[in-house]
Structures are given as structure tokens and as C-alpha cells.
Amino acid sequence: MPILTRNGVGIYYEVHGKGPAILLTHGYSATSDMWRPQIEALSEDHTLVLWDMRGHGKSDYPEDPALYTEAATVGDMAAILDKIGADRAIVGGLSLGGYMSLAFNAAFAQRVRALLVIDTGPGFKNDAAREQWNATARATADQLRKKGLAYLQEQSPERATSTHRSADGLVRAALGMLTQHDARVINSLPHIEVPALVVVGSNDEPFLNASDYMAKKIPNAHKVVIPDAGHASNIDQPEVFNRAVLDFINTIA
């Protein structure tokens, strides 16, 4: 089981196939397993890299809350690319993973060939809207404290089917990684210089407007709506999703 140890924290990752790198990041309280329907299709001509964020899945669950941050997550992504010898990659993810991919581009634009932003929101310019999001993240942490991992059974497919060692890491990740503190990511959208594919499930109502916004603000963006799909569009309609991603990848020089 490949583990990258970074500043004392073990980060699980796995590599499939050969070719130009694709790094996919799962959503909050999901794991790399959510990408199983994509492995065969995306690894045929590429090196597909999947991983578990700290506090999730097979990665470590450090007890120090200060180790759960956006900066730490983005740093983990860069370290994984270093580990596999990839100077650049197509970088993407779902929900929190998509947000972290945008944050990665803001920090390491020179390492990004293209972006895959899937059922994702780009953050908030408005302080009150951001605080409302953060209140929801804190409420999620409270539910995990009360119900443990059983709480995930009430959630969307990529979360309900995920496997974690305990809820403790997810609580700390909700408070330190799911919460947001500024408008850097959303303000970075007009400055993105690489092609971007914005994907959203037709039934993922909370993220439809956000997807429209990103498609308009990112200069070289293309948006695809996956029919009859919810928040986990890659799981709900894997064949349609995979075709949309491959069609996009084939347009990248």
C-alpha cells in the first residue's frame, strides 16, 4: 500500500496506468474508492493518481487540528506529484476535491495542464454566505461526533459507501478543511490560464448555479451537465461521465 509520509502524516495514494498524469481528489468524507468507475477508462492512456485526504480512508488521522488545512491539502497534492515524478498533471476532483483542485491551481499554476471541476463550488466572495457554509460544516462535525460513521449512511453515494477507520479525522477535516476563510479561490477564477472542464449532475441542485458561475468566470472553460445524476455524477452515470472527461482530455494539447 503506497504511503507518502509528509511532516509525519501518512498520505495514501495509488497509481494506475502510464502516460501523462491525472490527479483526482475525492469529496469530503469520501475516499479514493469513489473513483473506481473511472480507473479503467482514465488509466488506459494516462497515469491516474488517486489518494485519500488526511483524516480520510487509508491516510493518517492526526490528532492535532492544526494539521487539517487547505494549505496542507494542497501541499499533499504537490508532494504526491513529486513522488510519482510528474512535473505537471491534469488536476481535478469532486466537491471539496474540486475546490482543493482550484486552490492547487492558485498555488501551483505551473504544475496544472488542465482542471476537472466536478460538482463543486468555488467558495464565496460574500462573508455572510461563507459563514453560512462554515456553519453547515460545523454542523456536519457535530453530527459525526454524535452519530459516528453511521451519519454517512444518510449522505450521497460517494460518502455512504466510503470506509474510514473512525469519525475523528472527519470531524477535524470538517472544521479545518471544509470550512473556508477568504475569497482567494473564487477570485482566482478569471486568472486561470489552462483549459477547465466543469461537470455537474443535472439533479445536483445546490451546485448548478456554482457550476454556471465557474463556467462563465474561467476563461477557457467548458461545462457539461450529466443527465439523471446527483452530487456524485461520476458514480450515478459513469459511462456518460467518463466520455465527457475523455472528450475533454482529447482536446488538450
- How far is the C-alpha of 46 from the C-alpha of 208, rounded, in Å? 29
Q: What is the torsion angle, in degrees rounded to the nearest 10, for the CA atoms of residue 251, residue 50, residue 33 and residue 62?
A: -140
- In the DSSP assignment, the letter for residue 16 is E
Which tens digit of pLDDT belongs to each residue from 52-76?
Answer: 999 999 999 999 999 999 999 999 9
User: Looking at residue 253, what is its pLDDT?
Assistant: 64
Q: How confident is the model at residue 160 (pLDDT cuts 50, 70, 90)?
A: confident
Buried residues in 213-230 as b, exposed as e (16+ CB within 10 A): ebbebbeebebbbbeebb
* pLDDT, tens digit, 9 for 90 and up, residues 177-228: 999 999 999 999 999 999 999 999 999 999 999 999 999 999 999 999 999 9
Q: Residue 218 — left, alpha, or beta (φ > 0 → left; ψ -120 to 50 → alpha)?
A: beta
Contact assessment for residue 197 and residue 220, using Cβ atoms and an 8 Å cutoff = no
Share of residues in the chain with pLDDT > 70 (%): 99
In the chain, what are the domains?
Answer: 3-249 (3.40.50.1820)
CB-based burial label for 25 (10 Å; 0-12, 13-18, 19+)? buried
Residue 1 has pLDDT above 80, yes or no: no
Query: What per-residue confidence (pLDDT) applies to 156?
Result: 85
What integer pLDDT is reported at residue 63 of this predicted model?
Answer: 96
